[in-house]
Structures are given as structure tokens and as C-alpha cells.
Amino acid sequence: MGTTASQLGKDMLSEYQELTFLTKQEILLAHKRFTELLTREEKSLQSARLPLERILTLPELKSNPFKDRICQVFSTSDLKDGSLTFEDFLDLLSAFSDSATLEIKSHYAFRIFDFDDDGTLDCGDLEKLVNRLTGETEETRLSSEEMKQLISNILEESDIDKDGTVNLSEFQHVISRSPDFVSSFKIVL
């Protein structure tokens, strides 16, 4: 699916539209934003890869507490460094678009929150999740007791099979009862 960074042909545009939840206009805008972050040398490569540091300069990601995890989840790099090709970038935008289904959004949200990539949200993942949401400063950090109680409450509500973790289907069950989830899980360029 590679394309030169400097141009986006009609065929590729149609293919990207078929493979994503994005419109042609959104794909063209994404391509423009992606190529603006490339160096002159990278623009001549067949499949340029943007490093994480440059991707995180996008205002849409800059203030997101999960920005590094978002890039890691969508990166196809063997190094797992969060770098993105244009296709990775489109996949990211597609999953966060208004047109993406609840199933797609919840799948990627689960992967983003699964910090150790083991297929479950355990106490460690939930603690990292809470810390990122509350801010990791002394003023906002929960006490050890508050954290234990909150994680216990989350597991009580979400852990249907009572194994001490939340799997994808349990996560999706909880999300399905949250009507605001779909509208809040988006990135718009």
C-alpha cells in the first residue's frame, strides 16, 4: 500500500477510502499534514516513516495523555518505537474518526490502555491509566489507598469473570453502556 510521500494518486486515494472510515477530503488533509512533517529527504522515499517526536508535534496529539501509546499501538515498526508511515497514520485517524464503529474504537482504546500488551487490563495497567487521566503530579496523584479503592471499584464493575483483570470483551461490554465513549474517542485534523 506504499505511496510516494509527495503525491497521492487517484487509485491510492480510492484504495485508502475503501480501507478506512475516512472521506477523500480527510485523506487528502491527512496526507498534507503528514508530508508537512517530513524532511526534504524523507519526502523522496517510497514509504517514509515519521519518528514519534515529530508526530507528537501535531496539536491533536500534543495534549493527549495517551499520545505515546496511541502511536505505539498504530505503529507497524518492528522497533515498536511509535514511528508511523502514512498508512499507519491513516489507520490511526480512521479508528478515531466519527465514522468508526464502537467495536473498532473500543478495540483500539483497549489496546492503548493495555500498557504491557498482554491482552488484559490488570492492576498495573489500570494504575497507569488512572495516573495518566488524573495527571502525574504530586497535587493530582491519588494516594495508595485511593488508587487501590478505585482499581477495586473498576474491577468490581468490569471484571465479569472475576479473574482480577479486564479482557477485551469485558471492556467492550462496559463501553457499550457508555454513550459518550464514541463521541469522546476521536481525533480530528
pTM above 0.75, yes or no: yes
pLDDT bucket at 4, cuts 50 / 70 / 90 = very low
Q: Does residue 2 carry a pLDDT above 60?
A: no
Q: Is 171 helix (H, G, I), strand (E, B) or coil?
A: helix
Residue ranges of the chain assigned to CATH 1.10.238.10: 10-64+81-95, 102-184
pLDDT in tens, 12-50: 999 999 999 999 999 999 999 999 999 999 998 878 999
How sure is the predictor about 5, in pLDDT bands with cuts at 50, 70 and 90? very low
Question: H-type helices in the chain, by residue range?
Answer: 10-19, 24-36, 40-43, 52-55, 59-62, 67-74, 86-95, 102-113, 123-134, 144-158, 168-176, 180-184
**123-134 and 144-158 are packed helices; what angle lies between their axes, rounded to 10 degrees?**
120
Helix axis angle, 10-19 to 86-95, nearest 10°: 40
- Fold (topology level) of 10-64+81-95: Recoverin; domain 1 (1.10.238)
Contact 73, 112 (CB under 8 A): yes
Give 8: exposed, middle or buried? Use CB within 10 Å, 0-12, 13-18, 19+.
buried
pLDDT at 1 over 60: no
- Looking at the chain, the whole-number percentage of residues with pLDDT higher than 90 is 81
Q: For 118-145, how does the pLDDT look when each residue is reduced to its tens digit (9 = 90+)? A: 999 999 999 999 999 998 788 899 999 9
Architecture of 102-184 per CATH?
Orthogonal Bundle (1.10)
Q: Which residue has the higher pLDDT, 188 or 60?
A: 60
